[in-house]
Structure 1
């Protein structure tokens, strides 16, 4: 439901924008940018006029292992078994008391078999073009702290007092 007190066109995207932003500082890590905003907050600066922007995005992919039909089948077996157990527990809530174990065992076995078949079929469909497992993430290589133009001068003055701060390039 929309907030009746919110101006037209104001929404989640609007909350992530500044009207006339100016660069306050650029860092190599998010922790450094966060430290700057935290310092400004400690100095009672109106930090709601700040924005941390991650730029120069890159994707990192860490290879976690080699895939074989055995590993793929085992992964399918485990995930299918868990799904089957879950479905069995849900179905057992609506079945007669005597068939509780039979229902759970049957759905677990069916889930495990289905999981193995589905995983092997999916792996075979790749035809060896991706014989490894991995995890990936997108990270920024730089973090820029922006501040609303009407507060930029005060923010720069305060930032000069940050312990370990670099000389202000905007001064």
Structure 2
């Protein structure tokens, strides 16, 4: 049981009071401002980028068929088998035999696992997709005691390099 007075390892500490010095429509713009502050030797550990208006976006990539499940399983299993095979080859002799054998076994087990996983969905999710988290706006916040300096640096033109 943890003590409520002591923070649990892995939890972040409460954020210090901050001032929003700029807001952007894209993450790249917010990142560019932080990079400008860093280039000006500003203590960037007092800066954070905060995304607001979060939305999950799932892009459907294609149908998931048994063939596609088998192919992706074979590729993933072969990569894992290659890793294990290289480890075995470093430890024991006759290296190429181990590498080839583990790649083939990894591919076979990958096929079985992927096809079984696809079959267990019962056709309820027969497509592949990629899910991302997107923000509507990105704000750059700086701790209150450093905000004035950050705003001053923001107003300066970019140094030519």
Instruction: Calculate the TM-score normalised by the size of structure 1.
Output: 0.66
1:127 pairs with 2:122: yes
Which of 131, 134, 138 in structure 2 is aligned with 1:139? 134
Aligned to 1:61: 58
SS of 1:83's equivalent in the other structure is helix
SS of 2:72's equivalent in the other structure is helix
Cα offset, 1:157, TM superposition: 6.3
Cα distance between partner residues in 2 of 1:43 and 1:28? 23
Q: Tell me, which stretches of 5 or more residues in structure 2 are unaligned?
A: 1-5
Cα distance between partner residues in 2 of 1:39 and 1:108? 47
Aligned residues: 150
Which of 15, 18, 32 in structure 2 is aligned with 1:17? 15
Distance change >3 Å, CA 42–CA 73, structure 1 → 2: closer
The answer to whether the Cα contact below 8 Å between 1:39 and 1:162 also exists between their aligned partners in 2 is no
Q: Tell me, which stretches of 5 or more residues in structure 1 are unaligned?
A: 1-7, 164-171
CA deviations on 1:63-94 (whole Å, 9 max, x unpaired) are 22111111111111222223223323322334
Aligned to 2:111: 116
Aligned to 1:166: none
Cα distance between partner residues in 2 of 1:83 and 1:157? 52
The answer to whether the Cα contact below 8 Å between 1:73 and 1:120 also exists between their aligned partners in 2 is yes
User: Cα RMSD (Å) of the superposition?
Assistant: 3.3
Aligned to 1:34: 31
Cα distance between partner residues in 2 of 1:158 and 1:89? 52
CA deviations on 1:17-67 (whole Å, 9 max, x unpaired) are 33x322323221223333444555677766554432122222222222111
Instruction: Calculate the TM-score normalised by the size of structure 2.
Output: 0.69
